[in-house]
Structure 1
Amino acid sequence: MIHIIVFLTLVLSLAAARLYMILPSDTKRRSSSHPKRSTCNLAVFLGSGGHTTEALALVSAIDPKKYHHRQYIVSEGDHLSAQKAKALESSIAERLQASYGTQSYSILTIPRARRVHQSLLTTPASSIVSLFTCVYHVTIKPNLCFQESHSGFADVLILNGPGTCFILCVAVYINKFLGLPAPVVIYVESFARITSLSLSGKLLRPLVDRFVVQWPQLLSDKGRGECVGWLV
């Protein structure tokens, strides 16, 4: 019994040490080991409603030639966000005078961690289903399945809420914990959050590589993050 306790203590200590090593900090971000490349793959979570509008506004401002493959992640049943993503890609194709048949984007649908008005009693079960799905797409599929189109899940992952984006971040951390390729995670707090952070922002602030807010008063607590002004 004592040997089991010692073994478990050792395993937990090593896991805690590994987790501490992969947690981001401003120093680590400045000395990032991610190689600079001329092009990369972008993934962005569309959280429905205003979150989708803001996320697509961010994507519309990037150089599509640099972020040559764009993956839009939508929650199950959120057909409107998928339609808006397709409309944006259509406008990008027209702007680049490219053939719309040659798609440079994809749409990934994942189960919701928690549906609107869902009982708190059933939320853990739906969150686990959502997590397993995210782990499959972020960890298992890119690393165990051969993909000729592009390697890895993404080089950059943009999040701006709501709750399911936390599940995506956890899946990314599984890659980091195992030493597998993982995207740089950027969280952009919603423009609507003026005086206080959202729950997603509070949860993801210590985890993401870059934490961006659009109102300076959100950083009044001197916590990690950066204010870059209005983005949407």
Structure 2
Amino acid sequence: MSYGLPLALLLAAAALARLYAVLPRATPRRRTAPPRTGTCALAVFLGSGGHTSEALALLAGLDFARYTPRTYVLSSGDALSAKKAIALEAAKASPAGSSRKSPYALVTIPRARRVHQPLLTTPFSSAVSLAACAYHVALAPLLTGRPFADVLLVNGPGTCVMLCLAVYLNRFLGLPSPKLIYVESFARVKRLSLSGKILKPFVDRFLVQWPDLAQGDSRLQYKGCLV
């Protein structure tokens, strides 16, 4: 008697049960807020163009003394987003003469799909992007002993899906992983973006910037205009 098929089904059922266990609930239990004196390691994905502008507008209102260190995740070839992140850091820097520095880092990952890239080659480039994300989110923290971040902020470009998948790899394996916050683009007035539709069941908080988007969906939260 062959045990191959029953074993495969058992492993698949166990994997699905584990995935279900780490999914966020639609109505999460209230948690005690961390003390305001503590710090929070923050990572943000800059998706180029308008996505980068919106993400940096969100960060501009934060207290960098509390949200530290910061990690800016960039797609390969996106030099403009890197310059904008550095400019924001310079604008928010401590006053001249202060010995206290607010650390940040720039991390570059391959794009999951380039503009006009043939669909036939997209699975390969997505796999390369996912491998790079898994290195930064899972493997590098194991080697250095420093978690990738406490919170990961994303707002839509396709490569951020790979980044969130890497976070779920950590969760699946029981490794430290950041909370996922998705902020839908201000340009999305009536419908979610494709990335938003994909990630909605998986992120811990999903914020929209137009009230109609949040109607009838407990997973979506409207907090007003954020950018």
TM-score, normalised by the number of residues in structure 2: 0.94
- Relative to structure 1, is the Cα distance of residues 210 and 7 closer, same or farther in structure 2, using a 3 angstrom cutoff? same
Residues 92-111 of structure 1: matches in 2 within 5 Å? Answer: 92-94=92-94, 98=98, 102=101, 104-111=103-110
Residue matched to 2:150: 155
Residues 1-232 of structure 1: matches in 2 within 5 Å? Answer: 2-28=2-28, 30-31=30-31, 38-94=38-94, 98=98, 102=101, 104-143=103-142, 145-147=143-145, 151-232=146-227
Whole-angstrom CA distance in 2 between matches of 1:193 and 1:98: 41
Whole-angstrom CA distance in 2 between matches of 1:49 and 1:169: 20
Larger mean CA deviation between 90-99 and 192-201 belongs to: 90-99
Q: Give the drift of 1:105.
A: 0.5
Give CA-to-partner distance per residue, 1:150-193, whole Å, 9 cap, x none.
x2000000000110001000000000000000000000000010
Contact 1:93 1:99 (C-alpha < 8 Å) held by counterparts: no
Q: Give the drift of 1:195.
A: 0.7
Give CA-to-partner distance per residue, 1:54-73, whole Å, 9 cap, x none.
00001111110111211000
Q: Give the drift of 1:146.
A: 2.5
- Relative to structure 1, is the Cα distance of residues 108 and 6 closer, same or farther in structure 2, using a 3 angstrom cutoff? same
What percent identity do the matched residue pairs reach? 56
Q: Give the drift of 1:28.
A: 3.4
User: C-alpha root-mean-square deviation of aligned residues, in Å?
Assistant: 1.9
Q: Give the drift of 1:126.
A: 0.2
- The count of aligned residue pairs is 226
Helix, strand or coil for the counterpart of 1:85?
helix
Q: Which amino acid aligns with 1:183?
A: P
Q: Which amino acid aligns with 1:146?
A: T
Q: Give the drift of 1:128.
A: 0.2
- Relative to structure 1, is the Cα distance of residues 103 and 224 closer, same or farther in structure 2, using a 3 angstrom cutoff? closer
Q: Runs of 4+ in structure 1 displaced over 6 angstroms?
A: none
Whole-angstrom CA distance in 2 between matches of 1:231 and 1:31: 23
Q: Which runs of no fewer than 5 residues in structure 1 stay unpaired?
A: none
Contact 1:187 1:208 (C-alpha < 8 Å) held by counterparts: yes
Q: Which runs of no fewer than 5 residues in structure 2 stay unpaired?
A: none
Q: Which amino acid aligns with 2:120?
A: L
